[in-house]
Amino acid sequence: MTEAAWSQVRLHVVTGKGGTGKSTVAAALALALASHGRNVLLCEVEGRQGIARMFDVDPLPYAERRIATGLPSDDGDQHAGVVHALHIDPESALLEYLAMYYKLGRAGRALDRFGVIEFATTIAPGVRDVLLTGKVFEAVQRNSRNRGAQRYDAVVLDAPPTGRIAQFLNVSGELAGLAKVGPIKSQSDTMMTLFRSPRTAVHLVTVLEEMPVQETVDGIAELHANGLPVGGVVVNRVRPRDIADADLVATRSAGLDKEALREDLEAAGVDATKTLVDGLAAEARDHAERRALEDAQRAVVAQIEAPSYELPLLAGGIDLGGLYDLAARLREQGMA
């Protein structure tokens, strides 16, 4: 999928190796997409209440809740949209499914009290994924017949990690051995029509380290093998390039000129002890070597046949202001 196709995408699935910041990227993407008056739903399915923590709101129930105003329009012509959030758990999703398709209102809640719901979603992981993704599917597919329900211009899903994303989205294949006919099988097949269409994009988040980048490459291959559409690759936590490339090469090969470093420190009024000079020289060498490793991984990312985007490492950590900063950078690079 190319950047030119972003306008037709309704479902943005964000995945990545654990620790790469996929939830942060999902939140920033939702804020970026909620520009120009658009309304966006940000969903999570892993039970960690990460959205609530990032946006500093109360833990989310199984209900769509407004949590933020989207990124303001850069041209000033249109007002910002709104970001709603939804925490999806399989038990609540199953109760809703039973109420919608089998009219089991009170009876469904009785099953929940007896632990039948937890048993069903634990013994059949494929069913669990159908329930989780089914709620996302419903939000994307809403139309005028869903009276009173909020309609969204885009849905962003903070999805499971890269190693499980193809299995998670390939709900029809996961159910093949459990349900060959019936409403759940029919629903999963319908969902796959959306997940494999140009209306869906699976974005992968990585950092410039060997294992996350390799997992991204492997994840893309697995998505392609399952007919699932790859969106963009977001390189997260990129450190600023404060030192010229030539200086980095010189530092890696010969190390810093300690005498010149000592003179510079003393000229700045710093007591240039041997311990300080040796420590700074060692730190500079480590930094240069780290940069070389990052550049090698950036070259690997560049070979991936998907648009790539970069987000900086925020020294102050991630708060709501930081999310808006990252959202602006994603929009500037054409991801929203």
Say if pTM beats, i.e. exceeds, 0.85. yes
Residue 295: helix, strand or coil by DSSP? helix
Return the structure tokens found at 226: 């399952």
Residue 132 has pLDDT above 50, yes or no: yes
Q: How many other CB atoms are there within 10 angstroms of residue 159's CB atom?
A: 27
Which has the higher per-residue pLDDT, 332 or 252?
A: 332
Residues 256-303 pLDDT 10s: 788 888 888 999 998 989 999 889 888 888 888 888 999 999 999 999
Beta-sheet pairing, 230-238 with 200-206:
parallel
Report the mean per-residue pLDDT for the chain: 84
CB of 11 closer than 8 Å to CB of 200: yes
Q: Output the six-digit token pair for 285.
A: 């060498």
What does the pLDDT look like over 196-220, one tens digit per residue? Answer: 999 999 999 999 999 999 999 999 9
* pLDDT at position 3: 59
304-328 mean pLDDT: 93
pLDDT at residue 302, rounded to an integer: 96
Give residue 100's pLDDT: 55
pLDDT digits (tens, 9 = 90+) for 172-198: 665 545 555 456 667 777 888 899 999
pLDDT computed for residue 224 by the predictor: 96
Residues 66-118 pLDDT 10s? 999 998 877 655 678 999 999 998 777 766 665 555 444 444 454 444 454 45
Q: Which domains does the chain have, with CATH numbers?
A: 3-242+297-332 (3.40.50.300), 245-288 (no CATH)
- Residues 250-268 have pLDDT tens digits of 888 877 788 888 888 999 9
State the pLDDT confidence band at 62, using cuts at 50, 70 and 90: confident
d(CA 312, CA 289): 19
